[in-house]
Amino acid sequence: MELQLLNTLRDHNPIVFNIANFVTVQDVANGLNALGASPIMSAEVQEAETMVQIAGAVCINLGTLTTTQIDQMRVVGKLANQYHKPVVLDPVAVGAVPYRKEVALGLLSDFQVDVIRGNAGEIAALAGMDWQAKGIDAGSGQGDLVEIAQACAQQFQCCVILSGPTDVITDGQRVVKVANGTPLFQRHVGSGDLLSSIVAAFTAVSSTDVYQAAQVACLVLAGAGELVASQLTADRPATFAIDLIDRLSLVTVSEIQTIAKVD
Ligand SMILES: Nc1ncnc2c1ncn2[C@@H]1O[C@H](COP(=O)(O)OP(=O)(O)O)[C@@H](O)[C@H]1O
Ligand SMILES: Cc1ncsc1CCOP(=O)(O)O
Ligand SMILES: [Mg+2]
């Protein structure tokens, strides 16, 4: 895996344009900033073209969608395709809310995305497979996570990250698994949103190889979280979230390499 992309990202400080949700927007902005990217959030369609032009990549998050925002997402996605800017889609809760699934499928037919990043419940829903998603969380289901991720990637002709205790990254054929992380990620709302935006940041510096960018993003975030958890003596979700921001800023390629569990 090309972990040197972390240094490339810090050297280039790419602008990442996020259509964020209102729950986790500041965590995402601060996480991107700490890592070495330059976040910008926008909810206004009138400035969509400028946003896409100045950005290195776009992350579209369905977390708190509105009809107005869906229109903005469609415009932004099409502009990103036109300007050849990578697009990451985070299909928050599409496994639990049929309306969201309908919206996500509509967007996926209106423009091409480069990466879909979701938990098992979300990726299974988009792939048309049975799963008991629970709100924003993965929920419970039975099935081969690799097969589910590959089916989703093949259906939408893109890279898919099915995140969880082990992140499964696939382009539809090839598969890489990242087993780093900590259960503390699940105790902090917004971990998945941050991952999706970090994926966008890495695609901004590796637009010709989004599969590689997706792998590095998963390993850097999961590795940073694992390093934070190894220093905590108790179950402290709030401390974890704060320390994660610091660690994203400080973590080095060699620290990540030392703990990497990549298959
Ligand atoms: N039980 C776990 N153990 C280790 N890492 C986890 C665990 N659950 C989630 N993660 C990590 O948390 C991040 C967010 O993933 P996930 O929880 O699947 O997203 P979401 O918040 O959208 O449901 C990923 O980096 C993933 O590797
Ligand atoms: C709680 C909540 N409600 C709508 S979006 C959102 C945040 C989802 O964050 P994540 O999927 O990263 O845990
Ligand atoms: Mg999520």
**C-beta separation of 117 from 86 below 8 A:** no
Ligand 2 pocket check for 257: Cβ under 6 Å:
no
Nearest residue (CA) to ligand 2, atom 9: 190
Q: Are 60 and 32 in contact (CB under 8 A)?
A: no
Percent of the chain with pLDDT over 90: 98
User: CA geometry: angle at 29 spanning 23 and 34, to 5°?
Assistant: 135
- The pair of structure tokens assigned to 119 is 């938990």
Whether the CB-CB separation of 72 and 48 falls below 8 Å is answered with yes
Q: How many CB atoms lie under 10 A from the CB of residue 203?
A: 31
Residues with CB under 5 A from ligand 3 (ion): 92, 192
Nearest CA to ligand 1 atom 5: 181
Task: Determine the angle formed by the axes of helices 210-229 and 5-12, rounding to 10 degrees.
Answer: 100
Alpha carbon of 52 to ligand 1 centroid (Å)? 28
Contact 190 CB / ligand 2 (< 6 Å): yes
When pLDDT is averaged across residues 91-109 and rounded to a whole number, the result is 98
pLDDT tens for each residue of 8-34: 999 999 999 999 999 999 999 999 999
Residue 185 CA: nearest ligand 1 atom is 12
Q: Which CATH superfamily is domain 5-259 in?
A: Ribokinase (3.40.1190.20)
Q: Could you read off the pLDDT of 166-178 as tens digits, one per residue?
A: 999 999 999 999 9
| Ligand 2 contacts CB of residue 119 (under 6 A) | no
Which pLDDT does position 207 carry in this prediction?
A: 84
Query: Predicted confidence band at 159 (pLDDT cuts at 50, 70, 90)?
Result: very high
Task: Report the C-alpha gap between 186 and 166 in whole angstroms.
Answer: 13
Is the ipTM value over 0.85, yes or no?
A: yes
Contacts for 88 with CB less than 8 Å, ≥ 6 apart? 57, 58, 59, 60, 113, 114, 115, 116, 117, 196, 197, 199, 200, 203
Predicted confidence (pLDDT) at residue 63 exceeds the cutoff of 90: yes
* Cβ atoms of residues 81 and 112 within 8 Å: yes
Residue-range domain boundaries for the chain: 5-259
Q: What is the pLDDT of residues 201-255, one digit of tens each?
A: 999 999 899 999 999 999 999 999 999 999 999 899 999 999 999 999 999 999 9
Of the pLDDT bands very low, low, confident and very high (cuts 50, 70, 90), residue 157 is very high
CB 232 within 8 A of CB 18: no
In DSSP terms, 54 is beta-bridged to: none
- Average pLDDT over the chain, rounded to an integer: 97
pLDDT band at 193 (very low <50, low <70, confident <90, very high): very high
Query: Measured from the CB, is residue 23 less than 6 Å from ligand 2?
Result: yes
